[in-house]
C-alpha cells in the first residue's frame, strides 16, 4: 500500500534522488544540498505550526511511501502564500490595439507584461512521481490529496489556487522562449537561470528583465510558438488539473513561457465533492465499496491512502478496512475526509 505523509529529515536522500531525476525545468527541486535541507526544515515547521488563522509563509511538502518497502517514490507540495518573502514573477499575455480611423487601420497585438499579480495566493507545486511508481492512480493520488488537505484546513490557504506548468524545453534544457530573452537581455542560459531561481536567487530577474511590455510579434517565431504551451511530460498533469476545474487566465512563466493555471478552492472538483464522516471499521463492507482518496484530519500526523470504502447513507459513516484505518492512524468514531477516485457525472 502507498501512503502519503509529511516529509521528515530521514527522507533527505530520497528527496535528493527525486531532485536529480526530475531534471532541468523542475524549479521547485534544485539539486542543492542546502536548499533541499531547507525545504525539509520549512515543511516540518509548517506541519507543526499550530493556531494558523491565515495563509503565510508555510510550505507543506508531502511524500508518497511504499509501505511494503519503506521507499519514498514521490513528492507533492503546497506553498500557502507565494510572493510574501520573495517576489513572485509572471508575464501576463494580453492585447493592445493600434488603430487609426483616418487611415482605416486597426491592428490588435499581443503583449507580455511583467507582473506580480499572484502575490499571496496558494500554489500547488513539487509534484513528481519516480518512474518505478508510475502507473495506476499514483500520480492522481499525489496531486488530488492536496485538495483534500486544503479543504480540511481552509484557514491555512488562499481561496485562489495556482499551479505553474513546465514549459517547452529540449532534453538539454534549451528553452526557445528563454533563448530570445537570453540573447537580448540576460546573457545566461536557461539551466543557469532556472537553477538560480530554484535556490532563491531572484534579484537578477528584477535587475535584468525588460521593464516595459514585450510585443509578442517581435519575438523569434520559435519563442512565439511555445508561449502558453507545456512540456510533453507535463501534459498529463495539465489535463488532470483541467479536469479539476483549473484554467489559464493568460499568465505564463518568465523563463519558459509555460502556462500558470488557477482555480478557486471551493470550485475544485475533488475539494467540492469531498465529505467528512466518522469511521466504522468493517473489512467485508469496505471491500464492497468504491475506491476513494481518504485523509485523516490531522496536520502534523497527516496520512492519506487510496482504498476501497463504503458510505453508509443511513448511519452517515465511512466504512473502512482495518488496513486502511491503520494506515490513516484513525480509530472507530474518528473523522476522515474523502473523495471518490472516479466521479459519476
Identified catalytic residue from 106, 184, 231, 292: 231
Cβ atoms of 275 and 289 within 8 Å: the answer is no
Cα separation of 6 and 23, whole Å?
A: 23
Instruction: Count the Cβ atoms, other than its own, within 10 Å of residue 36.
Output: 18
Backbone torsions φ then ψ of 87, nearest 5 degrees:
-60, 145
Q: What is the CA radius of gyration of the chain?
A: 22
Query: In Å, how far are 37, 152, 221, 225 from 12, measured between CA atoms?
Result: 7, 27, 42, 39
Rounded-to-5 percentages of helix, strand, coil across the chain: 35, 30, 35
**For this structure, is 48 an active site residue?**
no
Cα separation of 279 and 125, whole Å?
A: 31
Cβ atoms of 91 and 249 within 8 Å: the answer is no
Specify which residues 111 forms β-bridges with. Answer: 94, 215
Backbone torsions φ then ψ of 297, nearest 5 degrees:
-100, 10
Instruction: Count the Cβ atoms, other than its own, within 10 Å of residue 12.
Output: 15
Catalytically annotated residues: 231
Amino acid at each position: 500500500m502507498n501512503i502519503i505523509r509529511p516529509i521528515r529529515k530521514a527522507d533527505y536522500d530520497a528527496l535528493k534522488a527525486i531532485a536529480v531525476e526530475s531534471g532541468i525545468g523542475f524549479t521547485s527541486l534544485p539539486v542543492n544540498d542546502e536548499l533541499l535541507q531547507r525545504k525539509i526544515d520549512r515543511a516540518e515547521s509548517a506541519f507543526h505550526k499550530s493556531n494558523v488563522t491565515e495563509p503565510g509563509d508555510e510550505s507543506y511538502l508531502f511524500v508518497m511511501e511504499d509501505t511494503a518497502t519503506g521507499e519514498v517514490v514521490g513528492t507533492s507540495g503546497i506553498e500557502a502564500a507565494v510572493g510574501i518573502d520573495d517576489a513572485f514573477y509572471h508575464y501576463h499575455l494580453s492585447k493592445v490595439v493600434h488603430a487609426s480611423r483616418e487611415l482605416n487601420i486597426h491592428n490588435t497585438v499581443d503583449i507580455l507584461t511583467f507582473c506580480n499579480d499572484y502575490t499571496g495566493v496558494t500554489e500547488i507545486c513539487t509534484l513528481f512521481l519516480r518512474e518505478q511508481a508510475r502507473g495506476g492512480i499514483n500520480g492522481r493520488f499525489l496531486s488530488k490529496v492536496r485538495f483534500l488537505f486544503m479543504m480540511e484546513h481552509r484557514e491555512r490557504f488562499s481561496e485562489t489556487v495556482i499551479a505553474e506548468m513546465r514549459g517547452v524545453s529540449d532534453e538539454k534544457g534549451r528553452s526557445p522562449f528563454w533563448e530570445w530573452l537570453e540573447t537580448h537581455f540576460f546573457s545566461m542560459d536557461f539551466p543557469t537561470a532556472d537553477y538560480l531561481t530554484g535556490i532563491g536567487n531572484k534579484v537578477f530577474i528584477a535587475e535584468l528583465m525588460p521593464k516595459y511590455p514585450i510585443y509578442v510579434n517581435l519575438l523569434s517565431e520559435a519563442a512565439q510558438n511555445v508561449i502558453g504551451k507545456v512540456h510533453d511530460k507535463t501534459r498529463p498533469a495539465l489535463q488532470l488539473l483541467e479536469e479539476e476545474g483549473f484554467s489559464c487566465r493568460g499568465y505564463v512563466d518568465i523563463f519558459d513561457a509555460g502556462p500558470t493555471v488557477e482555480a478557486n478552492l471551493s470550485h475544485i472538483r475533488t475539494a467540492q465533492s469531498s465529505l467528512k464522516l466518522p469511521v466504522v471499521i468493517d473489512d467485508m463492507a469496505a471491500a464492497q465499496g468504491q475506491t476513494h482518496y481518504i485523509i485523516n484530519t490531522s496536520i502534523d500526523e497527516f496520512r492519506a491512502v487510496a482504498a476501497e470504502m463504503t458510505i453508509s447513507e443511513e448511519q452517515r459513516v465511512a466504512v473502512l478496512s482495518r488496513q486502511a484505518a491503520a494506515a490513516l492512524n484513525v480509530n472507530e468514531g474518528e473523522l476522515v475526509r474523502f473523495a471518490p477516485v472516479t466521479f459519476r457525472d
